[in-house]
Structure 1
């Protein structure tokens, strides 16, 4: 908690993105705000949303809260903790962050800030690597590239089962994008040594497309990953 507290000034900026995949961060943030007397335990002007995947419906709830009048005389605080934000919800958040109400502060907690729209990132303060839990995406990517097609497809099924077959879960989408990012780094390094290799160029293009599709509501994570496993 001390690390996060040092990074947050007493005079808060209107919007923060906190990069963390640890669920404890939102609790730490609340404690810090209470200690500084910015909020209290019964403050009705605090909106907390913790979800696996932030949807357009969630974005509308945040918009309505933002439009509502303050109950007290203090600040309004919105804390969003999620593993994944779809593009529609991001656009809704962007509009709010572009024109925040006075004395209203937003804290968006996500595992990887680089996955957010650049237009959002340009309007917030970013706090990176706050209590991050280590992910094994690099190791998984290396194993996938060395494995046979059958073993690669089996590994995808294994990953999906970790999320209790909830293929639309934000956690799974974040894991999938992390794996794609790791695959891209490895293949990009190979391509730099062989710039005319059309196969590597094709794979890099397909990974880029896959990352876009994973941000699309309703897209099948399993189908996207299986397609990529067949071409790497």
Structure 2
């Protein structure tokens, strides 16, 4: 699989694999939708590959099985939160002999959702795993991963993708127009996953309606009860602003579209959605009330 972007992370793990210095447990942290889990799957293939391939096409038996999602020694755990019984099962099976390859790999998603009991069931295994076992934990909220888990793993922080990289990923998975793609990419903040979500959700979520009066607009924005709906609505508003700018040349429209990009970045932090919606409403009414 061709992983787009993340050249720094490719260099880090490529060097570690070449020098046979792969640690037993890593946390791959970074924003949602940037490809951390796909990267972990490529790492798992590299650990098992008989040719030592990493981020390269390989047709060995282990890589072929891994590409088909059927390798018995690559275990992908996606349940969130991780239940204590599942954590105990992982710890127990980690000490069993690999079924096909010389090693086995566990990819565990949503490491920030581990409860204390599930984490405790994994601790000794993460601290002293068998030599033939490697763990890759995935999270978009590294600071929320329990300290006991963090202390037993090496954290590799993944940067966001460039707009060009996001667009390249989106084009592989979406048939949307160039204009729609550019609009979604521009407010994705480096996340291909969010860009793809926006392209889908703009058809399903409430879209900005320029004919609404201020009272109707207020209730419409108030109805955006989660961050994904806000993102989709803002994507629609952003497209409207660009169209207004093309027709009128109003610098106010352009400035507000740039403002939208800035405030959307705040959604990546623990902000109050009520305050965010109110701010969005005030700015929208203020700008769109101008006749330009």
With the length of structure 2 as denominator, give the TM-score of the two structures.
0.43
Confirm or deny: 8 A CA contact 1:56 1:89 kept in the other structure.
yes
1:25 matched to which residue of 2? 36
Confirm or deny: 8 A CA contact 2:9 2:158 kept in the other structure.
no
1:99 matched to which residue of 2? 128
Confirm or deny: 8 A CA contact 1:47 1:65 kept in the other structure.
no
2:25 matched to which residue of 1? 15
Confirm or deny: 8 A CA contact 1:16 1:124 kept in the other structure.
yes
1:109 matched to which residue of 2? 138
2:63 matched to which residue of 1? 40
SS for the counterpart of 1:127 is strand
After superposition, where does 1:178-197 map in structure 2 within 5 Å? Answer: 179=270
Query: Deviation of residue 84 (structure 1)?
Result: 2.1
Task: List per-residue Cα deviations over 1:108-140 (Å, max 9, x = no partner).
Answer: 0011222122222222110113447759xxxxx
**More off after superposition, 104-113 vs 32-41:** 32-41
Distance 1:25 1:119 in 2: 22
Distance 1:88 1:156 in 2: 37
Of residues 145, 150, 154 in structure 2, which corresponds to 1:125?
154
Distance 1:19 1:66 in 2: 23
Confirm or deny: 8 A CA contact 1:80 1:107 kept in the other structure.
yes
> Root-mean-square deviation (CA), in Å?
3.4
2:226 matched to which residue of 1? 159
2:174 matched to which residue of 1? none
1:68 matched to which residue of 2? 96
Structure with greater strand percent: 1
Confirm or deny: 8 A CA contact 2:75 2:106 kept in the other structure.
yes
Query: Deviation of residue 105 (structure 1)?
Result: 0.5
SS for the counterpart of 1:89 is helix
SS for the counterpart of 2:88 is helix
Query: Deviation of residue 155 (structure 1)?
Result: 7.3
Structure scoring higher RCO (CA < 8 A, sep ≥ 6) equals 1
With the length of structure 1 as denominator, give the TM-score of the two structures.
0.53
Match status 1:4 vs 2:27: no
Aligned pair count reads 151
Task: List per-residue Cα deviations over 1:137-196 (Å, max 9, x = no partner).
Answer: xxxxxxxxxxxxxx9xx979923996xxxxxxxxxxxxxxx52xx68xxxxxxxxxxxxx
Confirm or deny: 8 A CA contact 2:160 2:189 kept in the other structure.
no
Of residues 70, 80, 85 in structure 1, which corresponds to 2:108?
80
SS for the counterpart of 1:92 is helix
Change in CA separation of 1:18 and 1:161 when aligned onto 2, cut-off 3 Å: closer
Gaps of 5+ in 2: 53-61, 66-70, 162-187, 191-217, 230-268, 273-292
Distance 2:222 2:83 in 1: 28
Query: Deviation of residue 74 (structure 1)?
Result: 1.4
Confirm or deny: 8 A CA contact 2:27 2:138 kept in the other structure.
yes
Distance 1:73 1:33 in 2: 11
